[in-house]
Chain A
Amino acid sequence: MSDPVEPLRAVDVTIAYRSTAVLERVNFATPPGTLTAIVGPNGAGKSTLIKAALGLIQPAIGHFLFFGKPFSQVNGRVSYVPQRTSVDWDFPVTALDVVCMGLYRQIGWLRPVRSKHRKLAIEALRSVGMEDFRGRQISQLSGGQQQRVFLARSLVQGAELFLMDEPLAGVDASTERTIIDVLRRLRDQGQTAMVVHHDLDTVSDYFDRVLLLNKRVIAEGPVADVMQPALLKEAYGGKLLIFDQSRQAISDKLERHP
Chain B
Amino acid sequence: MTTFETLFAYNTLVVLAGTMLLGVAAGVTGTFLMLRGRALAGDVIGHAALPGVAIAFLIYAAIAPDAGKSLPVMLLGGAISSGLGMLSVLWLRRVSRLPEDAVLAIVLSTFFGLGVVVMPIVQASPTGSQAGLPGFIFGQAASIRQSDVILLATIALATIIGSAMLLKEWTLMCFDEGLATVLGYPIRLLDFLLMSMVVAVCVAGMQSVGLLLIVALLIIPASSARYWSDSIRPNIWISALIGALSAGLGSIASAMVPKLSTGAIIVLVAACLLVASMLVGRRHGLIFRRLKPLESA
Q: Do A and B bind each other?
A: yes
Taking Cβ atoms with an 8 Å cutoff, the residues of A that contact B are: 51, 54-56, 72, 75-76, 78-80, 82, 86-88, 91-94, 97-98, 101-102, 104-105, 107, 109-113, 135-137, 140, 153, 157
Q: Does B230 contact A (CB under 8 A)?
A: yes
Q: Determine if B181 and A55 form an interchain contact, defined as CB atoms under 8 angstroms apart.
A: yes
| Min CB gap A157→B, angstroms | 8
A140 vs B232: C-alpha distance in the bound complex, in angstroms?
Answer: 16
Contacts of B175 in A (CB 8 A): 88, 91, 93, 98, 101
Inter-chain contact A56/B178, CB cutoff 8 Å: yes
B177 adjacent to A56 (CB under 8 Å): yes
| With contact pairs A76-B183, A105-B184 given, residues A137 and B174 touching in the complex (Cβ less than 8 Å) | no
A49 to B169, CA, bound (A): 26
Contact A78 B297 (CB under 8 A): no
Instruction: Across the A-B interface, give the 4 residue pairs with the lowest CB-CB distance, nearest first.
Output: A75-B184, A137-B230, A105-B183, A92-B232
Task: Select which of B181, B185, B296 is within 8 A of A140 by beta carbon.
Answer: B296
Residue of A nearest to B229 (CB): A92
Please, how many angstroms separate the alpha-carbon atoms of A55 and B232 in the complex? 27
* Contact-residue bracket for chain B: 20 to 34
Secondary structure of the B contact surface, majority rule: helix
B179 within 8 Å of A by Cβ?
yes
Contact residues of B with A, CB < 8 Å? 35, 165, 167-169, 171-172, 174-179, 181-185, 226, 229-232, 235, 296-297
| Count of A-B residue pairs with CB < 8 Å | 75
* Distance between Cα atoms of A136 and B230 in the complex (Å): 9
Structural contact, A94 and B181, CB atoms closer than 8 A? no
Is A104 touching B231 in the complex (CB atoms < 8 A)? no
Given contacts A75-B184, A104-B183, contact A109 B169 (CB under 8 A): yes
CA gap between A94 and B283 in the complex, in Å: 14
Q: Are A78 and B182 in contact (CB under 8 A)?
A: yes
User: Are the C-beta atoms of A80 and B231 separated by less than 8 Å?
Assistant: no
Q: Which residues of A contact B183 (CB under 8 A)?
A: 75-76, 104-105, 157
Closest chain A CB from B265 CB (angstroms): 29
- Residues from chain A with a CB closer than 8 A to the CB of B235 are 92
Q: A135-B297, A140-B296 are in contact. Are A92 and B230 (CB under 8 A)?
A: yes
User: Would you give 8 A-B contacts (Cβ < 8 Å), ordered by A?
Assistant: A80-B178, A91-B35, A92-B229, A97-B231, A101-B175, A104-B183, A109-B169, A140-B297
Listed residue (A86, A94, A97, A153) with the most chain B CB atoms within 10 angstroms of its CB: A97
Beyond A54-B182, A97-B232, A112-B167, list 13 extra A-B contacts (CB 8 Å).
Answer: A54-B178, A56-B178, A91-B175, A92-B35, A92-B230, A94-B231, A101-B171, A102-B179, A105-B184, A111-B168, A112-B168, A135-B297, A136-B297
